[in-house]
Structure 1
Amino acid sequence: MPSTLDLLTALIDGSTSRSEEREVLDILRSAPAAELDEAMEKLDTVELFDSVDNRLIGRDHRDDLVQLLAYERRDDLGLHAQASIIRGMQEGHTDEVMEAAIRDILLSHAGNDLSHLKNTINLAKGRHDLEGLVFSDVDDEGIREEILAHFAASSSLDGERQAKALSDIDDTALAKIHEDRYPKGSVIPGVLEFYEALDLGPRDEPISRGDLTFVTARPSDALGLMKGHSRETLTKAGLADMSIMTGSIFNLATHDSMAAKKVENIDHYAKLYPEYDLVFIGDSGQGDIAVGEAIVEAHGDVVRAVFIHDVVAMAPAEREKLAAKNIWVVDTYVGAAAKAHELGLVSPAGVKRVLAETNRLLDEMAWETPEQEQTIRSLVQRDAAAAGL
């Protein structure tokens, strides 16, 4: 006997007739709850909504589909299945019926469940993540405001607040432009382990995982970071399920315009996740200090720290001025992890793991000159000693 998933997959493969659309609806209406939940979690819901149409003459089958999944059988669906249904509605043309249904699914959840649903939506590949859903795919400003108001009033996590990490890529994670202390294109040693340490939190017992989002105007940069690293390494650092907030190509003209787009993205993020604190990781080469200053000013109550990876040899006096604003300029991610531990963001074991991973990668690095290697090893040893390691 074919499962609900098998039946639906076969029906929506290719173009569907009116009778096949009715059959899809009948299957969804009568499926046992467990089978329906499995089917909606695993099925290509984008194809499902594309395959069931509203018609000029006769029943509006797509509206019937929305009514059935978003309302009549919503309580039979788990969070992953509901996120999948939202994704099916948000890709392609999202009409007013779908926008209202997306709102009503989100408004039906609160507390931990709402946070987990948002995090699941945010793992979507491409631009259809949570930011894309709320600030792009939902066009109706009234519906958008209802969603954001609900997030503000009903988003909470049991226990202590957890921090989400927002990170730049160029010269923050990859030696690409100003960072010449490492071979060009290499991943900066310790950064992946630092992301993981932030993700695990001060006691290595996080409420949720995968709390890393790249804030970049160049989505290809994230692909560059992933290239050449095993899935195990990326998963460990929260990168296999990472989210990418990007800008348009028009934001690449100047450092100021790139910074402004990053600030806008982070403003969005603070509205989407009011239950989380924020940590921003950037570098000193392309406007990230201005980003840090702007978000501390706008969201200082939730910005736990800003870490700036120095690639331009900033003077001690400049560093001290920024430290007074909770913006910490670091030379290595060992130093960043040590400061994060002082601020209650990373566990002692997390700092040790960052040091161990940094040293391992330094040993494997294809250094361009002995002087290049010695410069970095001296900085790592200094930061490790300062942390008592």
Structure 2
Amino acid sequence: MPSTLDLLTALIDGSTSRSEEREVLDILRSAPAAELDEAMEKLDTVELFDSVDNRLIGRDHRDDLVQLLAYERRDDLGLHAQASIIRGMQEGHTDEVMEAAIRDILLSHAGNDLSHLKNTINLAKGRHDLEGLVFSDVDDEGIREEILAHFAASSSLDGERQAKALSDIDDTALGKIHEDRYPKGSVIPGVLEFYEALDLGPRDEPISRGDLTFVTARPSDALGLMKGHSRETLTKAGLADMSIMTGSIFNLATHDSMAAKKVENIDHYAKLYPEYDLVFIGDSGQGDIAVGEAIVEAHGDVVRAVFIHDVVAMAPAERERLAAKNIWVIDTYVGAAAKARELGLVSPAGVERVLAETNRLLDEMAWETPEQEQTIRSLVQRDAAAAGL
């Protein structure tokens, strides 16, 4: 006998008639709770909501679908299934009925459940992550404010606060513009393991995973193609779970405008995740120092640290000035991990893993010159020695 998932998949494949829409609703209404949960988690919910229409004459089947899934059977659905339903309502035009349903699903959760639901939504591929949902797909300002007020009042995690990492991409994770100490396009050795160490936390016992978000000033078009390209590039570099917040083409004119867009995105992030502390990782080439200073000033109570990967040979006096603001200029991610350990952000084992991964990648690097390799190895050895490794 076909499962609920099989029946729904067959019905929404291609165009659907009015009778087929009614059949979809009947299946969803009568399915056993476990089967419904599995179906909503695995089904292409974007196609589901696209296949069930409101019509000029007769029942508004899409509104019926929203009512059924977001209200009548919501308690039969787990967090992943509910995130999938929200994702289905995000794609395309999110009408007022859907916006209200999204709000009510979110407002039905608190504490750990709310945090896990937000994290699941935020890992959606493409441009429809949590920031896109709240600050773009939800057009009604009143509904947006209700969602953010609920996040502020009801988001919490059991145990100690955990940090989410927000990172720039070019010259921070990938050597692309000013970073010429590595072959162009290289993943900066140790950065991936540094992200992992931050994600695992100071005892390698994280409350949640996937706490990495990239903040980039690259423009994204209406289809999110630029964002998808960034995700593909970074996934190939070893990052399977992440979210990406992009800028606008109008923010590429100057370093100041790029920095301003990143600060705006991070402001959004602080409102979306008030239960988390924040760590920002950037570089010294394109305005990230200004970003770090701005977010420390605006959110100093939750910004645990800012790490700036130096690509312009910053003077010692400037490094000292920034360190006084909890902005740490680093030459290698071994040095970053060691400082993060001092700040209680990563475990001692995490620092060791960053060093091991850095050395492995240095051995595999297709160096352009012997001098290039020696420069980096000397910096890594210095930072490892300073960390007692």
Shorter chain as denominator, the TM-score bin is over 0.9
Task: Indicate if the aligned counterparts of 2:334 and 2:355 stay in contact, CA closer than 8 A.
Answer: yes
Question: For 1:110-147, what per-residue CA distance to the aligned partner results, in whole angstroms no more than 9, with x for missing partners?
Answer: 00000000000001111100000000000000000000
Task: Indicate if the aligned counterparts of 2:332 and 2:380 stay in contact, CA closer than 8 A.
Answer: yes
Task: Indicate if the aligned counterparts of 2:165 and 2:281 stay in contact, CA closer than 8 A.
Answer: yes
Distance 2:111 2:228 in 1: 38
**CA spacing shift, 1:220–1:356, aligned 2, 3 Å:** farther
Distance 1:177 1:260 in 2: 20
The sequence identity of aligned pairs, in percent, is: 99
Which 5+ residue runs of structure 2 have no aligned equivalent? Answer: none
Q: What is the SS of the residue equivalent to 1:223?
A: coil
TM-score by length of 1: 0.96
Distance 2:154 2:229 in 1: 38
Q: CA deviation at 1:218?
A: 2.2
Q: What is the SS of the residue equivalent to 1:374?
A: helix
Q: CA deviation at 1:70?
A: 0.1
Task: Indicate if the aligned counterparts of 2:127 and 2:227 stay in contact, CA closer than 8 A.
Answer: no
Which segment drifts farther, 178-187 or 101-110? 178-187
**CA spacing shift, 1:282–1:121, aligned 2, 3 Å:** same
TM-score by length of 2: 0.96
Question: For 1:260-303, what per-residue CA distance to the aligned partner results, in whole angstroms no more than 9, with x for missing partners?
Answer: 00000000000000000000000000000000000000000000
Q: What is the SS of the residue equivalent to 1:245?
A: strand
Which segment drifts farther, 221-230 or 356-365? 221-230
Task: Indicate if the aligned counterparts of 1:167 and 1:214 stay in contact, CA closer than 8 A.
Answer: yes
Q: What is the SS of the residue equivalent to 1:319?
A: helix
**CA spacing shift, 1:209–1:120, aligned 2, 3 Å:** same
Determine if the alignment matches structure 1 residue 19 to structure 2 residue 19: yes
Task: Indicate if the aligned counterparts of 2:127 and 2:224 stay in contact, CA closer than 8 A.
Answer: no
Q: CA deviation at 1:239?
A: 2.2
**CA spacing shift, 1:240–1:310, aligned 2, 3 Å:** same
Give runs of ≥4 in structure 1 deviating > 2 Å. 218-239
Task: Indicate if the aligned counterparts of 2:187 and 2:237 stay in contact, CA closer than 8 A.
Answer: no
Distance 1:224 1:102 in 2: 21
* Equivalent residue number for residue 368 of structure 1: 368
Distance 2:276 2:175 in 1: 29
**CA spacing shift, 1:225–1:45, aligned 2, 3 Å:** closer
Question: For 1:171-194, what per-residue CA distance to the aligned partner results, in whole angstroms no more than 9, with x for missing partners?
Answer: 101111111111111111000010
Q: How many residues align?
A: 389
**CA spacing shift, 1:55–1:220, aligned 2, 3 Å:** closer
Which 5+ residue runs of structure 1 have no aligned equivalent? Answer: none
Question: For 1:135-179, what per-residue CA distance to the aligned partner results, in whole angstroms no more than 9, with x for missing partners?
Answer: 000000000000000000000000000000000011101111111
Task: Indicate if the aligned counterparts of 1:196 and 1:236 stay in contact, CA closer than 8 A.
Answer: no
Distance 1:129 1:50 in 2: 19
Which segment drifts farther, 264-273 or 223-232? 223-232
**CA spacing shift, 1:125–1:232, aligned 2, 3 Å:** closer
Q: CA deviation at 1:237?
A: 9.3
Distance 1:270 1:105 in 2: 21
Which segment drifts farther, 222-231 or 36-45? 222-231
**CA spacing shift, 1:159–1:234, aligned 2, 3 Å:** farther
Task: Indicate if the aligned counterparts of 1:199 and 1:238 stay in contact, CA closer than 8 A.
Answer: no
Task: Indicate if the aligned counterparts of 1:335 and 1:383 stay in contact, CA closer than 8 A.
Answer: yes
Distance 2:219 2:137 in 1: 19
Question: For 1:320-373, what per-residue CA distance to the aligned partner results, in whole angstroms no more than 9, with x for missing partners?
Answer: 000000000000000000000000001000000001110111111111111111
**CA spacing shift, 1:16–1:145, aligned 2, 3 Å:** same
Task: Indicate if the aligned counterparts of 2:121 and 2:129 stay in contact, CA closer than 8 A.
Answer: yes
Q: CA deviation at 1:249?
A: 1.5
Measured on the aligned residues, the alpha-carbon RMSD in Å equals 2.9
Q: CA deviation at 1:254?
A: 0.9
Distance 2:83 2:322 in 1: 40
